[in-house]
Structure 1
């Protein structure tokens, strides 16, 4: 049954209100299952004698094994093999005793959730829900088989048993999916997204294997033992193969993610200055080419500024290059933190920075740059090292109709050096 999944991770903690709703739903299923068993007409009429204790214990343990043998598949979702034991129990022991074994196996295995780290209250809900659902669907499937003329215990295969067997498989599957859908509604989950035709097909195929188990049980003990040995080994090999494949897929996914992250890091390094974290000259030129093309196409203004730290060589000579690097980093933070998201700030050379202002007239760009100049001048540079003062000179230009990138940058450089010749710590537009 889909709800008994030993490989499923522990669910996230749920709210008290949701837990209460789940508890009520699970309790109703459990109570309904208990009432149906108590009122079971087959049991009252003693249609079938009590099963052999040894056989009952064997099939109970086999049912636990088939539940535990399930595993998660990346393509199909959860692969459940417990239908093998469920169908075998119904066809060997009949609706009542087969349902008792199925319900007991579900009841027992659901408590293993505690071992997986699931909280006690959530485990109790799982125990009630799994046991209730298993009992209801087993009774319905078992009686469908019986009333359609199915042979109990099943000893041989014949075409007359085809309809009863198919009906049993379908009835159990429909009830199982319906009850899970009810649980999805309570959890506000989309059941259709969780439903898998592939997983359903595998469960139906598991039911067919359960039919073979029931038939082989009626054969000689040695033959049945050999069949069960092959079946159990086959299930274990398939599960181990699936787990190995999952491990390899996880390793491939992990390596792919590492390569993707390294590739992204290389791309980031190729576009960014390692010292300041700003975009570098290469990226800035590519960006400006695109913005100039957009400016032409949309007839939108575009302004560019070149910014240079005043007397930066003196800072390096008097306070060492390590201090100069810290000044560059602080300046980068000030510039980046005081422009619009649509603006570009890049380190264009040693102490030279480029600013691009898309959709901005010259007057607006000049006013913005003067504000940046004032912020730099008023910054407490002595916090880096006592005695340090830093100012900037900025040259600002607006792209005219036929101006291309080299000429635009040359004009900005010309304005920058004019600002330096005029006394520094100023903006020249």
Structure 2
């Protein structure tokens, strides 16, 4: 049986006072009109984050699982009680000593399992379950199997699992096991299987394999139902590996039953000793293998992290964390090609920090570095995720706005200019004031990147020439 683990489990509105743009066709610059009010990228991100955080509470999920687990447990208990009343039989097996022995053996087959990251908890518990059904019949076999599952589930408390999650595991695992055992056991009886099993024959094997099939199908169905209640995908629950273990365990369970009924106590004891030690060795081997695989995965992750760091170093500016000039050029080449295929507009802007050399000369390079870092943070936090922000030179930044006309890009850049101008820079250096000039252009997909950058530089030069701390925009003509 596969066991269930419960582990609860656009920019700010701006008035364009210090902005200029080129009249299309003339290349001459004029003052912008006031823009319409639009949502900022930060506002859009907050809306997306708010939607992502609106997940249902885990408490509701636990309650659903508790109801499902309780129903399974009550169904199993009700079936056992109904059978006992109808057949006027006691709930305690006639041979209590043998029943206790096989209860302990069943408990061992569960505890001797191990957790596999791909298949969940893997054990040979089907050995004890099948031997109990073949020796005690479906009624008492279901009771013994259910009690073993009931007991094992409480061990979670010693592993720090919360009580309420442990309670769910107790109810669902014992309920599932009792229902599976009843269905499998009565399938065995209906197909002519004898209890206790005494001889290996086709009359025994056919009912046995039918029993294993019924138990496995019910197990998968109940786990699928549990996945549906929890809201998870149940299609990945089935495992060929786990099913193979269950079938092999069923055959071993048959051998246990036959050895118990056909051999003397000494030989049976020797067989059980070998079987118990074999399970223990198999568990230790699996754990050692998992540890080795874990070490390999850890080393692989470390290599992946280092590889990612090297990749970032190749495309990121080490001071600001923005993309560097090399990456920006490669990215823009691809974006221009995409825009050409899809006939989509795009705009490019060049941003330069005003009087940055004076900041370095007056306050030293450490202050200049902190100004660059602050500018980078302001640009990244006030642009869309689809936009590109890159450090293109010493104090020069490049911005790329996909699917954006010139007017929209100018609105973006004017808002950025105001954000920088209104920023409190005194925590970097008392008395310092920083502004930026921005040149914006919209090109056609037929133009080369160098021509677009030249047009953006021309607009930036015009912004500097007009007195700095302003945005100038022009279309890039052929």
So what's the TM-score if we normalise by structure 2? 0.74
Q: Give the aligned partner of residue 153 of structure 2.
A: 110
**Which is worse superposed, 359-368 or 70-79?**
359-368
Distance 1:188-1:374 versus aligned 2 partners, 3 A rule:
closer
Gaps of 5+ in 2: 10-57, 474-478
Confirm whether residue 315 of structure 1 aligns to residue 359 of structure 2.
Answer: yes
Confirm whether residue 59 of structure 1 aligns to residue 102 of structure 2.
Answer: yes
Q: Alignment length, in residue pairs?
A: 420
2:6–2:165 Cα contact (<8 Å) kept: no
State the structure with bigger RCO (CA 8 A, min sep 6), 1 or 2.
Answer: 2
2:425–2:432 Cα contact (<8 Å) kept: yes
Q: Which runs of 4+ in 1 moved over 6 A?
A: none
Taking the aligned partners of 1:419 and 1:183, their CA distance within structure 2 comes to: 65
Q: Give the aligned partner of residue 196 of structure 1.
A: 239
The one of 231, 252, 257 aligned to 1:214 = 257
Q: Give the aligned partner of residue 275 of structure 1.
A: 319
Mapping for residues 378-389 of structure 1, pairs under 5 Å: 378-389=422-433
Confirm whether residue 225 of structure 1 aligns to residue 269 of structure 2.
Answer: yes
Cα RMSD, aligned residues only: 3.5
Residues 194-214 of structure 1: per-residue CA shift (max 9 Å, x gap): 233542332122111111111
Distance 1:264-1:114 versus aligned 2 partners, 3 A rule:
same
Confirm whether residue 68 of structure 1 aligns to residue 68 of structure 2.
Answer: no
Distance 1:86-1:333 versus aligned 2 partners, 3 A rule:
closer
Q: Secondary structure at the match of 1:308?
A: strand
1:33–1:132 Cα contact (<8 Å) kept: no
1:307–1:395 Cα contact (<8 Å) kept: yes
1:376–1:391 Cα contact (<8 Å) kept: yes
Q: CA deviation at 1:262?
A: 3.1
Gaps of 5+ in 1: none
Q: Give the aligned partner of residue 326 of structure 1.
A: 370
Mapping for residues 174-193 of structure 1, pairs under 5 Å: 174-180=217-223, 183-184=226-227, 186-187=229-230, 191-193=234-236
2:113–2:124 Cα contact (<8 Å) kept: yes
Taking the aligned partners of 2:78 and 2:107, their CA distance within structure 1 comes to: 23
Mapping for residues 350-361 of structure 1, pairs under 5 Å: 350-360=394-404
Q: Give the aligned partner of residue 138 of structure 1.
A: 181
Residues 211-242 of structure 1: per-residue CA shift (max 9 Å, x gap): 11111122133322232222122211222222
Q: Give the aligned partner of residue 79 of structure 2.
A: 32
Taking the aligned partners of 1:283 and 1:251, their CA distance within structure 2 comes to: 35
Q: CA deviation at 1:269?
A: 2.8
So what's the TM-score if we normalise by structure 1? 0.82
Q: CA deviation at 1:52?
A: 6.8
Distance 1:337-1:249 versus aligned 2 partners, 3 A rule:
same
**Which is worse superposed, 347-356 or 369-378?**
369-378
Q: Give the aligned partner of residue 288 of structure 1.
A: 332
Q: Give the aligned partner of residue 389 of structure 2.
A: 345
Taking the aligned partners of 2:458 and 2:378, their CA distance within structure 1 comes to: 24
The one of 128, 135, 138 aligned to 1:85 = 128
Taking the aligned partners of 1:136 and 1:359, their CA distance within structure 2 comes to: 60
Taking the aligned partners of 2:409 and 2:171, their CA distance within structure 1 comes to: 70
Q: CA deviation at 1:106?
A: 2.9
Q: CA deviation at 1:14?
A: 4.7
Distance 1:215-1:362 versus aligned 2 partners, 3 A rule:
closer
Taking the aligned partners of 1:328 and 1:389, their CA distance within structure 2 comes to: 13
Distance 1:409-1:80 versus aligned 2 partners, 3 A rule:
same
Distance 1:281-1:79 versus aligned 2 partners, 3 A rule:
same
Distance 1:353-1:170 versus aligned 2 partners, 3 A rule:
closer
